[in-house]
Structure 1
Amino acid sequence: MGRIVGGAGVAAILAAALLLGFSGLVAAPGSLIVDGERPWVDEGHPPGSRPIGNDLTALFLPRHLWQSWWWHQGARIPRWDPRGFAGRPNAGNPQAGIWYPPTWLSWTSGSPAAPGWLTVAHLFWAGLGAAALGRAVGLGGAGATAAGAVFMVNPYVIAQVCEGHLPHVWAASWMPWAFLGAVRMRRGERIGRVLLPTSLAMALLAGHPQEGLYLALALGAWAAADGLAALRGRPGPMRSGQVVARWGIALGLGVGLAAVDWVPALAARPWVAGPLGGEGGGGSGPYHLHGSNAWQLLSPRALGGPSDYLGRGNWWESLCSIGWAPLVLLAVGVAGFPERRAVLGWCALLGGSLVHAAGEGLGLAAIVGGLPGFEGVRVPARSLFLAATAAAVLAGMGVEVVSRTIDRPRAVRRARRYGATVALIALAVALAAALPIERGSHDDSIRSLAIRSAMACRRIAGDGLTVSSALATGIALVWAAIRPAEGREAAWFLVGVAIVELAATAAMAVPLCPPERFLSPDAVSRAIARVRPPGAFRVRALDRIYSDLDAWRDGVEKTNLNDLFQLRRPAELYRALYPIFDEPGPRSGTPRTLDPRLAREALDRLGVGLVVTDRPVRLPVGPVVASASRGGEPISIRAHPGALPRAYVVPDAEVVPGEEEGAALDRLADVDPIAVVLMGLDPLAGLEGPRQPFTPARFEAVDPDLVVVRVATEAPGLLVVLDAWMPGWSASVDGEPAPVCRGDHAFRVVPITRGGSHEVVLTYRAPGLGIGSAITAASLAVMLAGAARRGTRKSRGDDPLGLPLSGGGRPPPGEEAG
């Protein structure tokens, strides 16, 4: 009962810390977590190209609102996503997160604020997991509370929330639970057989696979270390094989539980554009730790905030900070926690994560990037989620060291060392802050690093929260030194200091904005509404002028989305449209060469009815039909009369040798699209008699997975639907099955073999979804069956890395009540 009460107390403290950190959201629960006033600094984008907002408003919120609308149509999860790039799979998109059960709750709400509150719930869940992990490795109530708080409101984690990387945080919130499952599995406890695979699967399903992959890699390294350590025992090889098999089954079940997501992704992979093929670009770029990030160890505000960041890359991807008080606790834990093998294990996770986060220059990130399945990971610094997990446990160990202080001389020496260290740091900061230098450019020169360091020191010297935390931490250590019998009270005081510091840091960092700032129609939307063409059409616009969120609100389909995931063939055609606005290539500052003939064909075949721009168009497209203003800049909306209808019939196919290799793309500008369609074969070959001339068809999108086209013909013809072709689409003409072929490099073609009034129905079934669902169901059954078997508790000597304290991980005497 004491442990239950203690657990409730820890949960209450963590909940209070979280509510303090998100006090602004508590006061305005309908707000979005986004800065609606200032664009943020991001070295990975050309200057001036980053709009106001974050990834929540640019990417995740449009997807959430679109999926939520279909969810309200009867718990519908579309397998196909028709928005942007002429369509792409929804089941098979690793970032869609459609099989992650918690997101179904946010879809049920339908509120724009729901993803933010779902993130707060995940942070609380992560805090509970880190606290439970602390208890499992032998920490008392104070240490477990510190571990939970240090992960839950870690500055790096909060920075990811601020940038709108919500699925990243959802995935990372399962990391402490996965490690907890590993600890319990290694002891032979049945709960570990369920907790480890389930947590790994949830991390993989959350909607951003990079964090789940890093978690799987860390657990795999732990399994390898266990296997090697078991070789030292008797019988070595047999015991090692048993250990590795146990780990392999657990990790295999975790991957199997997520098969409903990754099997369709693998099935779609041959047709998906590479990481450099998307509009958003790719590559890690500057998104890793740099030398100047070391100053953030002293204060998360050392290099400024997201809109005035003076470091390399950006603020949110490489914020190397856990707060001052947690950093001191971590150092105390590393230096003084008695279970040295446990300390070394968590230090290995922390060090490995930091080395990987430093980028390819130190080698580890390059090695990891070459592993199967890791080709698409783009930001090495996101391994800092693993570093946050290790730091949380080590900080909890530091609390235990302080709470068990009984050696007065040793405690006095520790307090003196702390005072001397702080004094030296303060002197160095003061001297550097006094240097008469100004901010330099973002380069790797020694001078630029010195300039950023001096400016960081100025910020640290004026950071009242960090100074107050340093003083309070010193008081706690002196208290423990003077009154060693009150070490537990001093430890709780230190925990309070850490929680207040972290929660206050979060409260200062989290930006809030009314949803109307991004969801209310503006002048551009109203102008488009006045001149929108009849029927189905697409809009070509820069995202910073007309975003995905604007398009969803207005019921308009754009040619592009602010997303890397797209099908290769439509992406190859769409690339011709980058240069018409003098747009640089993805993640580069170099404008692309314009091919006017191919660009015009891309506009025609993608059905672009309107072009929205704030600059001259390098390609004549049509007259200005409306004007608007955004941010004081004039916006013009041009009609494109050459846009083809969304569906139409043409008489003939021109067979293009090498169509599979993309030869049709080079031929698009040489043929009349209303006369022929370029194909690898003619599905009407052998039919005699006249063919149906060009005839527009009526396009009806019943839902994303079901398209109905109605057309009347007098002779055979080829129905061209200007949506992306991919395996999984099937068709029927007047109720009879018909093939869905590929034409004009990227689009769907259905042969119509006779005249009459036709109803063509196209249906999508995601490739691999059935197999993936079966593997997930089988993995769930195996996991539950294995958990039902009676487990045996492992002895102390069977734990190769020595994670539990003596007593099998029980809290020390006197700590049962937390």
Structure 2
Amino acid sequence: MLACLLVSAWPLRGGLLAGGDAVAMAVDTGSAVAPWRQAVEASESASGAGPSLTRPRNPELSDQGLVFYPFHRWVVRSWLAGDAPLWCPLVYCGAPAVGNPQAGVLDPQVAALALAEAVGGPRGFHAAIDLLAWARLALAGLGAYLLARVLGLRWTGAALAAVGFGLSGYLVLWLNHSLGHVTPFLPWVLLGVEGTRGPRPVRACLGTAAAMLGAIAGGHPETAFYVGAAAGIWALAVLREDRRAGLHALGGLALGSLAAAPVLLPFVEYLSRSGAQEVREASVERGSIELVPLLAVGLLVGGIAWLRRIVVGAATDVTAMWRAAAGMALVVVGAVLLRDSGLPATALLALVPDRFGRPGDGLAGWIGPRAYTEEASSWLPALVLLSALAALFSPRGAMRRRGLCLCLGFGALALVLRVPGLLELKRTLPVVGLGATVRLAAVSALALSLAAGSALDQAPARARRAAVVLALALAAVVGRPAASAPLSGQNRIGPESDSQLTFVVTPDERLARTGTWLEGWIAPGLPVERISIVAAPQDQTAGAALEVPTELFSEASSVALQRDPAAVAAAPTGARWFRSNYLQVNRLEVGYWRFEAHVYLPGSATAAQVRLASVSEVTRPWSARPASWIFIGLAVLLVLIPLPRRLTWLVPALAAAHGLWFSRGVNPVVPAAELFPPTATERIVLAAQGQSRFFGDPGVLVPDTGLVRGLRALDGYDGMDPAEYNAYRYFAMRPGLNALLAWNARGVDLDSAAWALLGVGHLVLGAPLEHPGWELVAGPREGAPQFAEAFVYRAREPFPRAFVATSTIRPEVFDAAGGAGWDPRTTAIYEGDWVPNEPARLARAQIVASSNNGVDVEVELDGDGLLVLTDQFFPGWTCEVDGEEREIERVDAIFRGVRLRAGDRLVRFSYQPRSLSVGLALTALAAVIATALALRARYGAAGSSNSG
């Protein structure tokens, strides 16, 4: 226990020792953007220290500072204020917070943060973040240790299992995400399932239910699903041996899921109306299943099975040697076919976590494809992975469920690594096929760690040698660097610049980092609607083209000034600058790519001009540090060389050292001074926002950072997004722009009626704006009315959040007219049959009270009208008019409307989701069942004892 606590504390020691003055959480990914970046830099300059590091410290963990920390601050503040955070009015046009488990509304771990803040204020909140992270690591390791002991392992094998799971890539990388709130419960769920075989099955059943409830309440349904699926398979294995125990195990899982209904039912309701499912379905390609990858998987599995039979049989004659060579040949051929069929190059990260570098590690950092947190989730300490392979080649030992652990572990690992063939088969499954397979890394880490512990206890020398040979062979095949496609002619072509469009910063000749910069200017007066940057493969086999939008600015960036000051000075006065910040090179395959600027004129759907910026080679050289090879080399030696029983503790000790080395800097310590310090920009917007919303430039008050101070934003990010809100964006955008990528103050049509309805009262920008409808109220330049870190503009005539429309128009009529002459203040787009008999001549509406779950509107009207509240229409909202219940109807595509009559005075909107009410009722039912089981077990046992 003590060793588990000490090992778990080491990666978080900086935050734990700070006592609330710092947190081991990547909050600086939020405060590294405006306006907090300027505030932090100003504070450092005032102290004479100056900037001492690059922020954010680990950009891969952006969601921690941009989403989780702000949401948890808002949830905690709401609970402490007595305003239940069931609905969040501060993002989008409102969204269900209880329907998004990642917000942590019903997560006991977030409740602990609220308790800490109630006792110790913000400092207590920050100290609790580190303590809870420590508890999650310790809980995971201790649970794996106890499970291993119950399964029959000695303490050294159990210690190896604890280290392997407790310091696995998935647990460490996602520690402070909602995923990390779920994963530590996995071994405890399995411990409860396994405990049903003991003398107290009811107690184990209730323990299983409690652990399953904790996993689901942790806030990441996808990970919780895989936890439940693994536990279900485990329970079926128990059922096969002992019907009574298996039924108790399955009953515990069902009871825990029933108790979690308040989390699950609102989530399902929100998911059915979210954009997340649409995006996931679009991103998952369901083509025909190709035979070559399946053949490759068959060869690989068949070859390993063949080798296992020979190794377990311990045959040493010449025939056995030839058969072993043939089996290894099958393995190598299968691995080569899989690699050529699309096995990701990052598959080797399961063994070599810094094959392409690491975020924040040296100058290169992470240079691999996709995101490091996703790709390195499969990592396990080398000793654990090699020992798990040794268990595969070992005869049956004393550990129960070893075969199940091997099947679950390597099967889940194959899906985590996105092995071709298996991945396509999974995608054919309904609903489950949409899930991200990387979430299975929690299952693979625990199962393989348990298998590794069994190998430490009893794997023979021949099994260890076979494991090392197999691992090295697979690593050699998978780790071979891919060759670049040949490029005829010059390697460096471009840029194509002239007096109308000039490139100032273009991609380098060789690109090995995750991002690159492209910037230039267009001549003044050139009627350009937008410019997109397209990366197209020079060789069409290199992959699909990638198109990213650019932003337009009135001046050059600091990067352009630094790279080519002469070219910046040569730009004509009034030129508009376009830039694409950090093209995501990690989304491109290795090879030569053409980077082109596609220029679109107003109203044009096709590019009027295409200008070549450069042809560059995308490369990904080896970046592994020497320490990585040292740990792997030591792991190979300890696996190959049998240790005396008294020295076997060296194995878990080395695995722990490898895990601690992997965890360094993953969850960086951020001082309290950088945790969203107060800024003038927030103060100005908050003081004047009233019932309006604010909207920002890219990189300025980005979603969901406004939650920290209670700012009402038009934009948001909660991992789900209301689908209707996403669709509405197109009506408020300038033509031809991507409604998701360009949803910012530069991409919207500030003159459209659809935009006006969104009720934006302030724009918070990184550069000045010229528009007659907006006036500057604060900014960083001299001459601004008052100082702010960003440019703050106020709407001259902001649209109200609530108003009364006195006429309606049906959607089909509106579409046929193309929206011509539509005045949203008087006419509502309405699908119903209601038409006011006597339209009100006097119609006024004023919001007199607003909270998370309610809005009170006072109205005054002398006839019929339709009250429009420009908040998201969503199930669960009810309405009373002067105490009389009225129906809420959808108006203007996504907003709420209520029919009113002359004389109506007070309209009260309340959020009372039926999904939550039903969920709470099911939780009460689960509590009754659990109580009944506990009482029956206690008094039934007592009665049996007395009668005996």
AA paired with 2:23? Answer: L
Structure with higher RCO (Cα < 8 A, 6+ apart): 1
8 Å contact from structure 1 (residues 277, 571) kept in 2: no
Residue matched to 2:621: 455
8 Å contact from structure 2 (residues 589, 618) kept in 1: no
From 7, 17, 36, the equivalent of 1:27 is: 17
8 Å contact from structure 1 (residues 583, 592) kept in 2: no
Please state how far the C-alpha of 1:18 moved relative to its aligned partner: 0.8
Please state how far the C-alpha of 1:465 moved relative to its aligned partner: 5.5
Residue matched to 2:114: 107
Residue matched to 1:675: 826
AA paired with 2:187? Answer: P
8 Å contact from structure 1 (residues 70, 77) kept in 2: yes
Please state how far the C-alpha of 1:351 moved relative to its aligned partner: 1.8
Residue matched to 1:359: 418
1:613 matched to 2:776:
no
1:754 matched to 2:902:
yes
Q: Distance in 1 between matches of 2:666 and 2:343?
A: 21
Distance 1:87 1:327, change over 3 A: same
AA paired with 2:108? Answer: P
Residue matched to 2:2: 12
AA paired with 2:222? Answer: Q
8 Å contact from structure 2 (residues 888, 898) kept in 1: yes
Structure-to-structure mapping, 1:246-645, within 5 angstroms:
248-276=250-278, 283=283, 291-307=344-360, 308-319=365-376, 320-336=378-394, 338-339=397-398, 342-359=401-418, 361-364=420-423, 367=426, 370-372=429-431, 374=432, 377=435, 379-401=436-458, 439=512, 442=586, 455-456=621-622, 458-459=623-624, 462-464=625-627, 466-468=629-631, 470-471=633-634, 474=637, 478=641, 480=643, 486-487=644-645, 489-522=646-679, 524-525=681-682, 528=685, 533=688, 535-542=690-697, 544-548=699-703, 550-577=705-732, 584=738, 586=740, 596=749, 600-614=752-766, 622-628=774-780, 636-645=791-800
Q: Distance in 1 between matches of 2:860 and 2:822?
A: 25
Residue matched to 1:8: none
Q: Distance in 1 between matches of 2:477 and 2:426?
A: 37
Residue matched to 2:528: none
1:135 matched to 2:149:
yes
Distance 1:185 1:284, change over 3 A: farther
Distance 1:323 1:262, change over 3 A: same
Residue matched to 2:228: 216
1:85-140, Cα deviation, whole Å (9 max, x unpaired): 21122232243332222321112223452344323212211111111111110112
Distance 1:66 1:638, change over 3 A: same
Please state how far the C-alpha of 1:477 moved relative to its aligned partner: 6.1
Q: Distance in 1 between matches of 2:163 and 2:129?
A: 22
Residue matched to 1:204: 216
8 Å contact from structure 1 (residues 539, 612) kept in 2: yes
Residue matched to 1:80: 87
Q: Distance in 1 between matches of 2:467 and 2:407?
A: 24
Q: Distance in 2 between matches of 1:100 and 1:471?
A: 41
From 56, 60, 65, the equivalent of 1:57 is: 65
AA paired with 1:400? Answer: D
- Structure 2 runs not aligned, ≥5 long: 32-54, 286-340, 485-509, 514-584, 593-616, 782-787, 939-948
8 Å contact from structure 2 (residues 805, 826) kept in 1: yes
Please state how far the C-alpha of 1:672 moved relative to its aligned partner: 0.8
From 151, 154, 164, the equivalent of 2:165 is: 151
1:93 matched to 2:93:
no
Residue matched to 2:181: 170
Please state how far the C-alpha of 1:561 moved relative to its aligned partner: 0.7
Q: Distance in 1 between matches of 2:480 and 2:881?
A: 80
1:574-625, Cα deviation, whole Å (9 max, x unpaired): 3444658x96455x7999998959x722321110112233468899853444
Distance 1:53 1:195, change over 3 A: closer
Q: Secondary structure of the equivalent of 2:9?
A: helix
8 Å contact from structure 1 (residues 369, 375) kept in 2: yes
AA paired with 1:692? Answer: R
Distance 1:254 1:498, change over 3 A: same
Please state how far the C-alpha of 1:542 moved relative to its aligned partner: 4.2
Distance 1:129 1:210, change over 3 A: same
AA paired with 1:293? Answer: T
TM norm structure 1: 0.77
Residue matched to 1:700: 848
8 Å contact from structure 1 (residues 627, 636) kept in 2: yes
Structure-to-structure mapping, 1:668-747, within 5 angstroms:
670-681=821-832, 685=836, 687-688=837-838, 691-695=840-844, 697-747=845-895
AA paired with 2:654? Answer: V
8 Å contact from structure 1 (residues 180, 196) kept in 2: yes
Q: Distance in 2 between matches of 1:508 and 1:268?
A: 35
Distance 1:147 1:427, change over 3 A: closer
Distance 1:140 1:578, change over 3 A: farther
8 Å contact from structure 1 (residues 334, 343) kept in 2: no
Residue matched to 2:300: none
Distance 1:270 1:621, change over 3 A: farther
Q: Identity of counterpart residues, as a percentage?
A: 21
Q: Secondary structure of the equivalent of 2:809?
A: strand
Please state how far the C-alpha of 1:673 moved relative to its aligned partner: 1.2
Q: What do you get for the CA RMSD once the two structures are aligned?
A: 4.4
8 Å contact from structure 2 (residues 774, 795) kept in 1: yes
8 Å contact from structure 1 (residues 154, 388) kept in 2: yes
From 163, 174, 182, the equivalent of 1:160 is: 174
How many residues matched?
717
Q: Secondary structure of the equivalent of 2:720?
A: coil
Distance 1:106 1:401, change over 3 A: same
8 Å contact from structure 1 (residues 527, 627) kept in 2: no
Distance 1:507 1:24, change over 3 A: farther
**Higher mean displacement: 266-275 or 534-543:** 266-275
Distance 1:247 1:298, change over 3 A: closer
AA paired with 2:397? Answer: P
AA paired with 1:571? Answer: N
Q: Distance in 2 between matches of 1:360 and 1:330?
A: 19
Q: Secondary structure of the equivalent of 1:519?
A: coil
AA paired with 1:72? Answer: L
Q: Distance in 2 between matches of 1:38 and 1:60?
A: 11
Q: Distance in 2 between matches of 1:254 and 1:430?
A: 43
Residue matched to 2:74: 66
Distance 1:86 1:401, change over 3 A: same
